[in-house]
Structure 1
């Protein structure tokens, strides 16, 4: 069983005891013990069909398998790290914000709706489902967890979105007047709206 913990705010430390985790390719910065690393494959460790689905969707995730006995330290671009526990629920996350996850968790691709053509994020998002731990990345500072309730829906900038968890419905708001105030009125400006009950994680720096 892995032990996920933070070493400071920008380094993830994981203990391996004969089991495995998956982590972003190239994110290992140090390790002790007898640990091996190998490419998780085009499906991110979830098989060929998952890889083909990702390729068709254009939502890529480059992961490596880390197995053995020892301790491994992970980091990426000096970004802040957030640890999230899943208890049979689903986390929707931007693939580039995924640092590591328990190997028993399943990843997939979900249709996210029709987004504005000016965004480079595509039409799909990565989902992580099951029981285990996920480590997320946040650029520009510590991640911010925002509660969503039926009484208080949430609208966020898609370039600040990291992940969402809970019983949430995601939609797109295309009438975004605030972009006009900062000189970004060209293209199809939009924001993400979340209704329901859950948590949305954002970062203080736009992609």
Structure 2
């Protein structure tokens, strides 16, 4: 059999984490180094790999009910190679160091099992809930694979350069940054997203570090259901339809 498809054959690498292509991650397991991956993200594997779909990160059951910030993970263990992807989103590898990284858990594809995770609350003078309110802090030393809807923008934050990002477009940022949620709306109703402009809640960053932004304010639908209606178009949460709160 002959086909141009064979140009997409497996890429060879000695690295533990390797991008098979911009939208697929390859992880090599040696039997003593488990990796935690987004539930259902496995698209292929080779060798003797076990998947434990019941793994809960520390504090999840206690915190997720109150905050809505969850990280649905499976533990991948054994010897071989596993390929991970999610709805053809772009995959990016990040080395976590002592500064740590704060991320919306929706954008985590995989991470080293040795890393520590905990929920943190973003300062909000309005006390709202939703995108940007609660986030996941990742600390320790290891790698994290993040996902974005399209090629992202990495913005540098310095004491001289303040950065503001739409709360629906932010993916991750340096943990040491000072963050505040705000909305510069002049509408009398705070639930109306910045009047008729279509813009809404922002995260304001100050300090020294980075902010990772994706070129989309709406995630691809998660757990979409067949048929018409909100569940078919936006997934089982029905959130963020037409870039507004529901």
1:67 is the counterpart of 2:77: yes
Deviation of 1:7 (Å): 1.1
Aligned length: 198
Q: Could you tell me which residue of structure 2 aligns to residue 3 of structure 1?
A: 16
Larger radius of gyration: 2
Question: Given that residues 137 and 175 in structure 2 are in contact (C-alpha distance below 8 angstroms), is that contact kept between their aligned partners in structure 1?
Answer: no
Aligned partner of residue 88 in structure 1, secondary structure: coil
Deviation of 1:115 (Å): 7.2
Deviation of 1:73 (Å): 0.6
After superposition, the C-alpha distances for 1:34-76 in whole angstroms (9 at most, x for unaligned) are 11001243x32x3xx4431232222111000000111111000
Q: Could you tell me which residue of structure 2 aligns to residue 14 of structure 1?
A: 27
Q: Could you tell me which residue of structure 2 aligns to residue 203 of structure 1?
A: 214
Q: Could you tell me which residue of structure 2 aligns to residue 88 of structure 1?
A: 98
**Stretches of structure 2 lacking an aligned partner (at least 5 in a row):** 1-13, 187-192, 219-246
Deviation of 1:119 (Å): 6.6
Q: Given the superposition, is the C-alpha separation of residues 116 and 24 from structure 1 closer, same or farther in structure 2, using an over 3 Å criterion?
A: farther
1:169 is the counterpart of 2:178: yes
Q: Could you tell me which residue of structure 2 aligns to residue 113 of structure 1?
A: 123
Deviation of 1:184 (Å): 2.2
| C-alpha separation in 1, matches of 2:132 and 2:175 | 22
Q: Given the superposition, is the C-alpha separation of residues 52 and 61 from structure 1 closer, same or farther in structure 2, using an over 3 Å criterion?
A: same
Deviation above 4 Å: which 4+ runs of structure 1?
Answer: 115-119, 179-182
Deviation of 1:118 (Å): 7.8
Question: Given that residues 116 and 190 in structure 1 are in contact (C-alpha distance below 8 angstroms), is that contact kept between their aligned partners in structure 2?
Answer: no
Aligned partner of residue 150 in structure 1, secondary structure: coil
**Stretches of structure 1 lacking an aligned partner (at least 5 in a row):** none
**Alignment root-mean-square deviation, CA:** 2.3
Deviation of 1:138 (Å): 0.2
Question: Given that residues 125 and 182 in structure 2 are in contact (C-alpha distance below 8 angstroms), is that contact kept between their aligned partners in structure 1?
Answer: no
Deviation of 1:143 (Å): 1.8
Question: Given that residues 90 and 129 in structure 1 are in contact (C-alpha distance below 8 angstroms), is that contact kept between their aligned partners in structure 2?
Answer: yes
| TM-score normalised per structure 2 | 0.74
Richer in strand (by share) = 1
| TM-score normalised per structure 1 | 0.87
